[in-house]
Structure 1
Amino acid sequence: MDKTTVVNKYHKIPYDIYIGRGSKWGNPFSHMDSTKAEFKVESREEAVQKYEEWILTQPELMNDLHELEGKVLGCFCKPKSCHGDVLAKLVNELSIGKVACFTGHRPDSLFGYKPNTEGNKKLLWKLKYIIEDHIENKGVDTFITGMALGIDMWAARVVFKLKEKYPHIKVIAAVPCKNQHNKWIEESKREWQMIINRCDEVHYVTNEEYTKWCMQKRNEWMVDNSQYVIAVWNQGKGGTANCVNYAKKSNKEITYLNPNDIKEELNK
Structure 2
Amino acid sequence: MKTLAVTGYKSHELGIFDQNHEGIHYIKKAFEKRLIPLIEEETEWFVISGQIGVELWVAEVVLQLKEIYPDIKLAVLTPFLKQEENWQEQTKEYYQHILSQADFVESITKRPYESRAQLRLKNEFIISKTDGLLLLYDEEKPGAPSYYLDVAKKRQEHDEYPILYITPNDLYTMIQEEREADPTYWSD
Tell me which interval the TM-score lies in, with the shorter structure as reference length. Answer: 0.7 to 0.9
Task: Answer 1 or 2: higher relative contact order, Cα 8 Å, separation at least 6.
Answer: 2
2:133 pairs with 1:133: no
Instruction: Classify 1:143/1:264 alpha carbon distance in 2 versus 1 (closer, same or farther; 3 Å).
Output: closer
1:260 & 1:136 partners in 2: Cα distance?
Answer: 24
Q: In the alignment, is residue 253 of structure 1 matched against residue 162 of structure 2? A: yes
CA distance in 2, matches of 1:266, 1:257: 13
Residue identity over aligned pairs, in percent, reads 26
Shift, 1:263, TM fit: 5.6
Q: Which moved more, 1:151-160 or 1:234-243?
A: 234-243
CA distance in 1, matches of 2:137, 2:165: 7
Q: Which has the larger radius of gyration?
A: 1
d(CA) in 2 for partners of 1:202, 1:116:
26
Q: Normalising by structure 2, what TM-score?
A: 0.83
Structure 2's unaligned 5+ residue stretches are 177-188
Cα distance 1:105–1:206, how it changes in 2: closer, same or farther (>3 A)?
same
- Root-mean-square deviation over aligned CA pairs: 2.1
Contact 1:196 1:202 in 2 (8 A): yes
Cα distance in 2, alignment partners of residues 148 and 173 from structure 1:
10
Aligned equivalent of 2:126, options 222, 233, 243:
222
Q: Distance in 2 between matches of 1:172 and 1:260?
A: 28
Q: Which has the higher helix share?
A: 2
Indicate how the Cα distance of structure 1 residues 135 and 191 shifts in structure 2: closer, same or farther if over 3 A, else same.
same
Task: Look up the match of 2:143.
Answer: 238
Q: Distance in 2 between matches of 1:118 and 1:200?
A: 28
TM-score scaled by structure 1? 0.59
Structure 1 match to 2:50: 147
Q: CA distance change for structure 1 residues 263 and 115 in 2, over 3 Å: closer, same or farther?
A: farther
Paired residues of 1:115 and 1:154 also in contact (CA < 8 A): no
Which range moved further: 149-158 or 238-247?
238-247
Map 1:89-128 → 2, pairs under 5 A: 97-110=1-14, 112-128=16-32
Query: Aligned partners of 1:266 and 1:136: how far apart in 2?
Result: 24
What's the CA shift for 1:116?
4.0
2:101 aligned residue (198, 210, 217): 198
Contact 1:177 1:208 in 2 (8 A): yes
Q: Which amino acid aligns with 1:185?
A: Q
Q: Contact 2:13–2:143 at 8 Å: present in 1 too?
A: no
Change (3 A) 1:128 1:215: same
Query: 1:61-76 maps to which residues of 2 (within 5 A)?
Result: none
